[in-house]
Structure 1
């Protein structure tokens, strides 16, 4: 009965999240300097309406919406996967340096003139550095790392990647390239085309497929490493597989959007009260929650009055940092209660 109730809750929550994502996607296509009604948006998508409406919807806003959905989904999914792998509710790609390292790889390619912002070399470099950062984290923290050690290790990797990125910008001989890199690092979905969608989507889809394929292993791992091994799970191989999936997805996402933080941390926590703590059931709802969060943040940027464009990475960080501090306080209280 418990499993049946849990499955029913998962179906209802997943359906509700999917409907929310669909509404936000429709809103993303209609909201902007030129407001369009939902009916006008649908008509333009189907080839109707005026030429201006079709250009606005299909060529300007549609790629931005697709990237917001895909990047938010892979960040939410990666956060849930890392929390399941490390069995730690504070695990996320942004806290452990994967986006910052991926950004460094992409920035290095741009600064050296080896690739422009539309080259497939960017996601390859981002994936390589994201893979390296997560691998180094697991190597430093060890197999049974505590919360403090994980946070400190992630902070060190993030700081190193940020310093290396700043050094590359400082040494760049082209001031316009340095300015472009600075704005790009803030994280944004503006001025993105279907070229960017085609650039990132293969890596995001591949990373998502890898992570979702390990859902049964996450459930076994939640019982402990020894129990998981007795059930036939190769824990070492699972680690490498999750690292590869996170690196593929996050590296591809960062290569076209810049660093967008805290989506991977927040999304699993938002759906956990609805789904439960089973890491296998948490993956798809976390991906939908991540997509909804990023789409909502991107829509909010177009509604907030501002004389300059606010970057979506700035907004997600403003929201995510207080949430992260709240989680730390909650964990501290839980540990204090356990000791008492």
Structure 2
């Protein structure tokens, strides 16, 4: 017996409510708990200086970054799964996340990140764009999703090899530890400066991916049918790849490598829609924002000697959720 998807407005309302609740909880909870009254007083210019510093210098930029980065990763995963028609697709499949991480590692390894705060995000985004150029060069004019996947695996493997080489040749254990800490992913000690660096890239990437909704629906019928319906496959691929590279590069630049969000969020959302690629895009963005924000709350409230890294928490959350969903939905692909 087939299931009927709930109305789109109810799904969007539920996801927005969950995201809002996660954002408010992110502002309230942490090593120093803030009551709602104290939070409101700090937000409206009260005399509680400590609460104001915690809110505006620590938690608010961290919350906004979690929302923006989660939305970008969730949307990128949904768009790539629709375009490649592969339920395992996410930004790392095309090598984008690995290449952006390699760009950040280069900035740390050569000490460029110490020269100017913008060097780390610039090199991370540059790494993502270089991976895009390699991907286009390797895939050539082929329109087959399988060609892109194989080229992406090659680019990703090359980026991972470069990262491993940097760790292997680190001049001292402290440099290696700094690189490893960044690779594990975190939003700790992020400020509004990081938000202003990441937000233009994320906004640009999300706009380019959302543009592809109708083209992704047409591609679900196959390349020949999509072309017959008037879809320009080359432009669609260019927007998809460029949007993923710019958006994910900007996200990884300030957060480090965070996995599984782009993989599992579309699978969580898909059963609640009509399963068309365009219907999954925006819900995946909102769901990704909520999930990453909730994971970041967990990082702060789980007792530990050192704060857990966000990439570790998303991996522990993502694997069981994905496996459970895989068992439930395997017959529907």
TM-score, normalization: structure 2? 0.89
Map 1:13-52 → 2, pairs under 5 A: 13-48=11-46, 50-52=48-50
Q: Structure 2 vs 1, CA of residues 310 and 30 (structure 1 numbering), >3 Å: closer, same or farther? A: same
Cα pair 1:28 1:299 within 8 Å, conserved: yes
Aligned to 1:205: 203
Q: Post-superposition shift, 1:323?
A: 4.3
- Which position in structure 2 is the counterpart of 1:144? 144
Any stretches of 5+ residues in structure 1 without a counterpart? Answer: 336-340
Distance 2:226 2:104 in 1: 37
Counterparts of 1:300-319 in structure 2, within 5 Å, are: 300-319=298-317
Say which SS state the counterpart of residue 297 (structure 1) adopts: helix
1-structure distance, mates of 2:322, 2:133: 23
Residues 55-74 of structure 1 deviation map (CA, whole Å, 9 limit, x = unaligned): 11111111110110000000
SS in 2 for 1:305: coil
Question: How big is the shift at 1:16?
Answer: 1.1
How far apart in 1 are the matches of 2:84 and 2:304? 40
CA displacement 1:84-133 (0-9 Å, x = unmatched):
11122211113443212110011112222333496333333223322444
Per-residue CA distance 1:13-48 (angstroms, 9 max, x = gap): 111111111110010011011111233323322222
- Alignment partner, residue 172 of structure 1: 170
Displacement of 1:135 in angstroms is: 5.9
| Separation (CA, whole Å) in 2 of partners of 1:18 and 1:118 | 37
- The worse-fitting range, judged by mean Cα deviation, of 238-247 and 45-54 is 45-54
Query: Is the Cα–Cα contact under 8 Å of residues 15 and 287 in structure 2 kept in the other structure?
Result: yes
Matched residue of 1:94: which SS?
A: helix
How much does 1:322 deviate?
A: 3.8
Q: Aligned residue for 1:338?
A: none
SS of the residue 2:209 aligns to: helix
Aligned residue for 1:122?
Answer: 120
Deviations 1:299-337 (A, max 9, x none): 1122222222210101111222344555666787679xx
Within 5 Å, give how 1:67-216 maps onto structure 2. Answer: 67-116=65-114, 119-133=117-131, 136=134, 139=138, 143-145=143-145, 156-173=154-171, 175-216=173-214
CA-based RMSD of the aligned residues comes to 2.7
Aligned partners of 2:183, 2:10: CA distance in 1, in Å?
Answer: 37
* Aligned equivalents of 2:198, 2:52: Cα separation in 1: 24
Aligned-residue offset at 1:80: 0.7
Counterpart secondary structure, 1:290: helix
Deviation at 1:217, TM superposition (A): 1.5
User: Secondary structure of 1:115's match?
Assistant: helix
* Partner of residue 318 from structure 2, selected from 317, 320, 329: 320
Output the CA distance in 2 between the equivalents of 1:123 and 1:115.
Answer: 9
Deviation digits for residues 204-226 of structure 1, max 9, x if unmatched?
11111111122222122222211
- Give the Cα separation in 1 of the matches to 2:283 and 2:114: 35
> In structure 1, what is the Cα distance between the partners aligned to 2:94 and 2:329?
18
Partner-residue secondary structure (3-state), 2:113: coil
Cα 1:255–1:204 change in 2 (3 A) is same
Distance 2:117 2:266 in 1: 32
**For 2:232 and 2:203, how far apart are their aligned partners in 1?**
24
d(CA) in 2 for partners of 1:113, 1:312: 24
Answer whether contact 1:26 1:41 (CA < 8 A) is retained.
no
User: Does structure 1 retain, via aligned residues, the 8 Å contact 2:112–2:120?
Assistant: no
Shift of 1:11: 1.5
Give the count of matched residue pairs: 328
SS state at 1:82 partner: helix
Q: TM-score, normalised by structure 1?
A: 0.87
Aligned pair in 2 of structure 1 residues 145, 98: CA closer, same or farther (>3 Å)?
A: same
For residues 210 and 116 of structure 2, the distance between their equivalents in structure 1, rounded to whole angstroms, comes to 28
Query: 1:27 touches 1:38 (CA, 8 Å); kept in 2?
Result: no
